[in-house]
C-alpha cells in the first residue's frame, strides 16, 4: 500500500477540543509521541531551567539570586526565612 502525505490545518481550539475527547490512555500515548527530548530527572530539568534563566537575567548579581533562591526554598518547605 502506497502512502500519501497530506497537510492538515486545524484551528488550535478545535485541536484542543478533540484532545479533550481522548481517553486517558490515548492522551498518554499522544504525550509520549509529542515529547522530543528524552525523559530526564527533575534535577536535569531544574539545571536546564537555571541555565536558561541565567542567560536571560545577567543583570542580577549572584549574591542577589542566591538570596532569592534560599528564600523561595524556605517558602516552599514552610520553614520561613528572615
Distance (Å, whole) CA 33 – CA 20 = 17
Residue 38 confidence (pLDDT): 65
Residue 78 confidence (pLDDT): 83
Distance (Å, whole) CA 61 – CA 63 = 5
Residue 5 confidence (pLDDT): 83
Grid cell 486545524 is found at: 10
Contacts of 57 (CB under 8 A, 6+ apart): 65
Residue 47 confidence (pLDDT): 86
Per-residue pLDDT of the chain (82 residues; tens, 9 = 90+): 678 888 888 898 998 999 999 999 999 888 888 776 666 788 888 888 888 887 877 888 888 888 988 998 888 888 755 5
Contacts of 45 (CB under 8 A, 6+ apart): none
Amino acid at each position: 500500500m502506497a502512502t500519501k502525505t497530506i497537510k492538515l490545518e486545524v484551528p488550535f481550539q478545535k485541536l484542543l477540543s478533540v484532545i479533550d475527547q481522548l481517553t486517558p490512555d490515548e492522551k498518554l500515548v499522544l504525550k509520549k509521541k509529542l515529547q522530543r527530548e528524552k525523559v530526564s530527572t527533575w534535577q536535569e530539568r531544574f539545571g536546564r531551567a537555571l541555565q536558561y534563566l541565567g542567560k536571560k537575567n545577567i543583570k542580577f548579581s549572584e549574591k542577589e539570586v542566591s538570596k532569592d533562591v534560599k528564600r523561595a526554598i524556605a517558602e516552599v518547605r514552610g520553614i520561613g526565612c528572615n
